């Protein structure tokens, strides 16, 4: 029996024309068409194109209620670049080369009540630069209760080793007293006392730690890695008082007022800005960090500085950046929005529910913020992620939850389209 003749594969040109609506650039479409033909499955080209399209960075609706969502770039950013030239390293007064840090770091210092500040790529880089600038070849004293791992791979002892500083551990996991530091702190070879905020876990029960104020009287400069980047625990940028769930979170301004020589923190956690790391505090120490050759390797690009500047200006104008606006939305308002959404035919499978948001991003562990949204039985996450604008939802107790605290009202039409597309047949 003769085999049926195999159909001739379509021409690459023809296939590429068919893929044009995906909006991908021509050379990528040619690659995809060729791959599909080589795999003996020309019909798969379209699916390959859709997969590639969705692997690129794009808009996602965060319906998880996790305000600082690590997989979604932590805090949302209120910033679009004009794409024009900027005076990044031009001093407009003199017409000469200026410092890319001068503008924005002054604003950050102003907000934190610091003499000076320096911006680097992330919180880990901030601590690495501080330790290698101020303590390489010398001793740094840290409580055993603060030798933490934060996120994937940021371990304080390893950052310390990479900086060339020698770690001196004091105290125990649950209790460290001032006496424990006193011995280590009076050593001539001690460059710094490091305090690290336990951002992502809590030690409860029989515990004690020593505050910055007492540590700062021991002699060596105290560096406080506050991590989450709460600029001021009095939250002057909010109309009301600080929300109760912030209790215990150290503010940069207060840490410096209480005697820390430097604080380090991330730009994209509670500060609500772009990925960045900030070193703020005493001018001579910040300058020593800026002079270290590593500072150049860790410096942020112009886009980040532009975004951080906008965030700082928002704070100074007492406007809420998106993180703070979302974090403090009243539950009533979210319930009203949920009621409205539930009336849409697209949401016929969903009912209005109370739920709980969390700060996320490895900050404020255990904190929950009352919220409202929609829920439906079963796990609908895959269908929601497959929507044109993907929606990331949360599953709990056998139900899928859409938490409206992290969804911007402007995103609601796309959210409804996703709910409609994910409807049960
Ligand atoms: C998040 C965090 C870091 C790491 O900051 P990245 O910006 O993620 O590099 C370091 N220290 C503490 C205490 C943190 O909370």
Alpha-carbon torsion angle 69, 73, 75, 81, nearest 10? -160
Q: Checking phi first, is residue 413 left (phi over 0); if not, alpha (psi -120 to 50) or beta?
A: alpha
Alpha-carbon torsion angle 256, 258, 261, 267, nearest 10? -30
What does pTM read for this prediction? 0.92
Q: Is 18 in the pocket of ligand 1 (CB under 6 A)?
A: no
Is 60 exceeded by the pLDDT of residue 107?
A: yes
Q: Is 77 in the pocket of ligand 1 (CB under 6 A)?
A: no
Is 70 exceeded by the pLDDT of residue 3?
A: no
For residue 425 the two structure tokens come to: 């047949």
**Mean pLDDT, residues 293-316:** 95
SS3 content of the chain, % helix, strand, coil (to 5): 40, 20, 40
Predicted pLDDT of residue 248? 86
**3-state DSSP call for residue 157?**
helix
**3-state DSSP call for residue 284?**
helix
d(CA 287, CA 107): 16
For residue 292 the two structure tokens come to: 């270290």
Is 70 exceeded by the pLDDT of residue 5?
A: no
Atom of ligand 1 nearest to the CA of 361: 1
pLDDT class for 228, splitting at 50, 70, 90? very high
How does pLDDT run across 302-311, given as a tens digit for each residue?
999 999 999 9
Predicted pLDDT of residue 417? 97
Predicted pLDDT of residue 366? 85
**CA pseudo-torsion sign 378, 381, 387, 391:** positive
**Mean pLDDT, residues 352-379:** 93
Predicted pLDDT of residue 204? 75
pLDDT class for 268, splitting at 50, 70, 90? very high
**Mean pLDDT, residues 20-36:** 94
Q: Which fold has domain 90-320?
A: 3.40.640
Q: Is 227 in the pocket of ligand 1 (CB under 6 A)?
A: yes
Residue pair 264/226 in contact by the 8 Å Cβ criterion:
yes
d(CA 417, CA 64): 17
d(CA 312, CA 300): 16
**Mean pLDDT, residues 354-380:** 93
Looking up tokens 């500040």 gives: 117
Tell me, yes or no, if the two domains 61-75+325-421 and 90-320 fold the same way. Answer: no
**Mean pLDDT, residues 244-267:** 96
Total residue length of the chain? 425
For residue 109 the two structure tokens come to: 């210092």
For residue 56 the two structure tokens come to: 């690129």
Predicted pLDDT of residue 124? 94
Is 70 exceeded by the pLDDT of residue 69?
A: yes
Predicted pLDDT of residue 110? 96
d(CA 169, CA 147): 9
Is 80 exceeded by the pLDDT of residue 295?
A: yes
Q: What is the mean pLDDT of the chain?
A: 92
| Gap from CA of 265 to ligand 1 centroid (Å) | 7
Residue pair 299/138 in contact by the 8 Å Cβ criterion:
no
Whether domain 61-75+325-421 has CATH 3.90.1150.180: the reply is: yes
pLDDT above 70 covers a percentage of the chain that reads 98
How does pLDDT run across 132-174, given as a tens digit for each residue?
999 999 999 999 999 888 777 788 999 999 999 999 999 988 8
Is 70 exceeded by the pLDDT of residue 329?
A: yes
Residue pair 425/349 in contact by the 8 Å Cβ criterion:
no
Is 80 exceeded by the pLDDT of residue 201?
A: no
Q: Is 199 in the pocket of ligand 1 (CB under 6 A)?
A: yes
Domain ranges across the chain: 19-53, 61-75+325-421, 90-320
Nearest CA to ligand 1 atom 1: 227
Is 80 exceeded by the pLDDT of residue 203?
A: no
Q: Is 225 in the pocket of ligand 1 (CB under 6 A)?
A: yes
Angle at 291 between CA 289 and CA 292, to 5 degrees: 70
């Amino acid at each position: 029996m003769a085999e049926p003749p195999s159909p001739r594969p379509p021409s690459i040109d023809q296939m590429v024309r068919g893929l044009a609506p995906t909006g991908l650039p021509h050379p990528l479409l040619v690659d995809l068409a060729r791959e599909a033909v080589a795999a003996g499955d020309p019909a798969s080209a379209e699916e390959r194109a859709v997969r590639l399209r969705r692997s690129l960075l794009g808009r996602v609706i965060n319906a998880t209620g996790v305000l600082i969502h690590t997989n979604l770039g932590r805090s949302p950013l209120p910033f679009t670049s004009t794409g024009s030239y900027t005076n990044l390293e031009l001093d407009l007064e003199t017409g000469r080369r200026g410092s890319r840090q001068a503008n924005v770091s002054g604003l950050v210092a102003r907000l934190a009540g610091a003499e000076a500040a320096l911006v680097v790529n992330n919180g880990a880089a901030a601590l690495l630069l501080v330790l290698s600038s101020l303590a390489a070849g010398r001793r740094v004293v840290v409580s055993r209760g603060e030798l933490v791992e934060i996120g994937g791979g940021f371990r304080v002892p390893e950052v310390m080793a990479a900086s060339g500083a020698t770690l001196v551990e004091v105290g125990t996991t649950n209790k460290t007293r001032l006496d424990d530091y006193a011995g280590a702190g009076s050593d001539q070879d001690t460059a710094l006392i490091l305090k690290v905020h336990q951002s992502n876990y809590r030690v409860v029960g029989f515990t004690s730690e020593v505050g910055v104020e007492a540590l700062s009287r021991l002699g060596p400069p105290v560096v406080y890695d506050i991590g989450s980047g709460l600029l001021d625990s009095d939250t002057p940028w909010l109309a009301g008082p600080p929300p109760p769930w912030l209790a215990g979170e150290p503010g940069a301004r207060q840490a410096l007022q209480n005697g820390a020589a430097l604080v380090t923190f991330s730009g994209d956690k509670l500060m609500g800005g772009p990925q960045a790391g900030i070193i703020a505090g005493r001018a001579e120490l910040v300058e020593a960090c800026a002079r270290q050759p590593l500072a150049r390797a860790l410096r942020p690009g112009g886009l980040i500085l532009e975004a951080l500047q906008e965030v700082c200006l928002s704070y100074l104008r007492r406007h809420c950046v998106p993180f703070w606006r979302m974090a403090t939305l009243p539950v009533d308002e979210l319930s009203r929005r949920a009621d409205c959404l539930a009336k849409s035919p697209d949401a016929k499978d969903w009912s209005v529910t109370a739920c709980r948001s969390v700060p996320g991003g490895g900050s404020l562990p255990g904190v929950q913020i009352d919220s409202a949204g929609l829920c439906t039985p079963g796990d609908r996450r895959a269908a929601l992620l497959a929507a044109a604008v993907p929606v990331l939802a949360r599953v709990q107790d056998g139900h899928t939850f859409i938490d409206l605290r992290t969804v911007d009202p402007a995103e609601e039409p796309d959210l409804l389209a996703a709910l409609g597309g994910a409807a049960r047949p």
